Amino acid sequence: MRKNLEDSQSSNVTPTGSKSEEQKLIESVQNGNKTAFGKLIRIHQKRLFRFIYGLVNSFDITEDIVQDTFVKAYQKIETFRTGYAFYPWLATIARNLAYNFIQREQKKESLDKMTEVGFDPQSTDISALDNLLDDENKKRLYKAIGALPVKYRVVFTLRHFEKMDYSEIASFLKIPPGTVDSRLFRARQMLLGAVKDLL
C-alpha cells in the first residue's frame, strides 16, 4: 500500500511553486498540530464522501471508509511530501480501503452472466450523461449509478468522478484495459436507459 501512496504523489500530482494554504496546514500537522488536520478534513471530506459513496453505494460503509481514511492519513502524514496536492494522496488511501469492500460485493454478484465483449463507444452518448452531472436532475442520475452492478458502477465512478484514465482504472481493479472499455460502455448504456426521459 505504501508504494501506491508514493505512486499517487509522483504520478497524479504536480509540484507547485509557492506554498498554498493547504500545504501550510500539512506542514503544521507534520509538526504536531492536530487542529490543522481538522481543517484538512473539513476541506476534503465532502468530495471524498461523494467519491467513496459512488464506489460502494452504502452510506454506512462510506462513513466507515472515510473515517478510516482520515485516521490512516493522520498516521502517515509524515510520509506526505509537501508541495504536492493532498487530495490525490488521500483518495488513494480511500480507494485501497474501498477495494476490500468492492471485492466482497463482486463475489456476491459472481452469478451475473452479462457479457463484456463487443461494444461501440460511438453509440453511447457520453456527453448526455456528463451534462446530467451538472444538471438539477443529478440526484436521479446518482440513484441510477448506485443501482448499477458493482463492476460497472466502480469503473464509471473512477472514470467520470475521479477522472482516472483507462490504464489507472485497469491497474487499480487488476483487469485488462479492454475490460475497462467494455464495462464503461455497458455502464453508460444502462444509465442512459435509466434516465432516458431526462435527456
Contacts of 147 (CB under 8 A, 6+ apart): 194
pLDDT tens, residue by residue, 4-56: 554 545 444 444 445 788 999 999 999 999 999 999 999 999 999 988 988 88
> Given the C-alpha cell 500537522, which residue does it identify?
29
188 contacts 196 by C-beta, under 8 angstroms: no
| Confidence tier at 127 by pLDDT (50, 70, 90) | low
Q: Phi and psi dihedrals of 53, rounded to 5?
A: -60, -40
Mean per-residue pLDDT over the chain, rounded = 79
Contacts of 139 (CB under 8 A, 6+ apart): none
pLDDT tens, residue by residue, 96-119: 899 888 877 766 655 444 444 444
| Confidence tier at 71 by pLDDT (50, 70, 90) | very high
Q: Phi and psi dihedrals of 65, rounded to 5?
A: -65, -45
Where do the domains of the chain lie, and which CATH numbers do they carry?
2-108 (1.10.1740.10), 121-198 (1.10.10.10)
13 contacts 60 by C-beta, under 8 angstroms: no
By the 10 Å C-beta count (0-12 exposed, 13-18 middle, 19+ buried), 198 is classed as middle
Q: Is the pTM of this model over 0.85?
A: no
